[in-house]
């Protein structure tokens, strides 16, 4: 499978250096690692929410960071944050429509209503985020990320705010959707069970470095280093 997303990034924060690379086809990739490994930082750099010190982000052959700089609103990237980041003063419908950058109003409304139906949110269009459940908030966040038909979907621990049974149910439901999108999906987690159930390709990130990548079962069965072995054993 040819790479749709190619990333090579170096970035420095106080007390932390990121120097990591990955490539991903039209599949679900999982950035797996402990807290503080640089996983969320990688997503922010790919999305253009931060400028890397050095390196390149290339999506479907288009340079987004490196010799060129494309602002985040022009990158065709959908982003689902850990705590959904819905606007509390907006309704469900308004939150979904907000993601439709550049679409005419009527087309945006029609697409938002289609996604609301697809995500089984009918009847909640006028509700505010505080009055819907965690699973419903997550589905609103996914709909908002997908309304602009992104070329890449980034997910920052999207299931972590849900309780156990809801988390497993939503993970299974949305995994089917993600595999049907036909675009690269890059998801962050520190939960090994989640990584193994979702990833078609897993990247083990420790201390700002990708120490191993491949199919999850291959990594668990044949860790490339003691650090990877300990992480996958403890995960």
The 10s digit of each residue's pLDDT in 45-64 is 999 999 999 999 999 999 99
For residue 63, what is the DSSP state? E
Average pLDDT for the chain: 92
Name the percent of the chain in helix, strand, coil, to the closest 5.
Answer: 35, 25, 35
Q: What is the mean pLDDT of residues 140-145?
A: 94
pLDDT for the residue numbered 170: 78
Whether the predicted pLDDT of 198 surpasses 70? yes
The kind and range of the H/E element at 67 are: none
Q: What is the mean pLDDT of residues 7-23?
A: 96
pLDDT for the residue numbered 180: 85
Whether the predicted pLDDT of 219 surpasses 60? yes
pLDDT digits (tens, 9 = 90+) for 157-171: 988 777 777 778 778
Pairing state between β 185-189 and 28-32: parallel
pLDDT for the residue numbered 107: 94
Distance CA 128, CA 86 (A): 9
Instruction: Report the CATH number of the 1-74+152-235 domain.
Output: 3.40.50.300
The ranges assigned to domains in the chain are 1-74+152-235, 77-149
pLDDT for the residue numbered 234: 58
pLDDT for the residue numbered 82: 81
pLDDT digits (tens, 9 = 90+) for 86-108: 999 999 999 999 999 778 999 99
Q: Using alpha carbons, select from 108, 85, 81, 84 the residue that is nearest to residue 97.
A: 108
The kind and range of the H/E element at 170 are: helix 164-180
C-alpha distance across the termini of the chain, in Å? 28
pLDDT confidence bin for 156, thresholds 50/70/90: very high
pLDDT for the residue numbered 39: 96
């Amino acid at each position: 499978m040819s790479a749709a997303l190619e990333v090579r990034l170096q970035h420095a924060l106080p007390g932390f250096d990121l120097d990591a690379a990955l490539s991903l086809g039209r599949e679900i990739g999982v950035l797996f690692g402990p807290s503080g490994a640089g996983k969320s930082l990688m997503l922010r750099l790919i999305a253009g929410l931060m400028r890397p010190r050095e390196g390149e982000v290339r999506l479907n052959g288009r340079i987004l960071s490196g010799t060129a700089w494309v602002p985040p609103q022009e990158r065709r990237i959908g982003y689902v944050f850990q705590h959904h980041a819905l606007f509390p003063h907006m309704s469900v419908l308004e939150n979904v429509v907000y993601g439709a950058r550049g679409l005419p109003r009527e087309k945006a409304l029609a697409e938002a209503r289609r996604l609301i139906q697809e995500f089984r949110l009918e009847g909640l269009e006028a509700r505010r985020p505080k009055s819907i459940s965690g699973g419903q908030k997550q589905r609103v966040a996914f709909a908002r990320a997908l309304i602009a038909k992104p070329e890449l979907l980034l997910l920052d621990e999207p299931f972590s705010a849900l309780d156990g049974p809801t988390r497993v149910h939503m993970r299974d439901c949305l995994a089917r959707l993600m595999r049907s999108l036909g675009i690269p999906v890059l998801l962050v987690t520190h939960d090994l069970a989640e990584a193994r159930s979702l990833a078609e390709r897993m990247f083990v990130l420790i201390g700002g470095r990708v120490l191993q990548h491949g199919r999850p079962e291959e990594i668990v069965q044949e860790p490339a280093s003691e650090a990877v072995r300990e992480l996958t054993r403890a995960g």
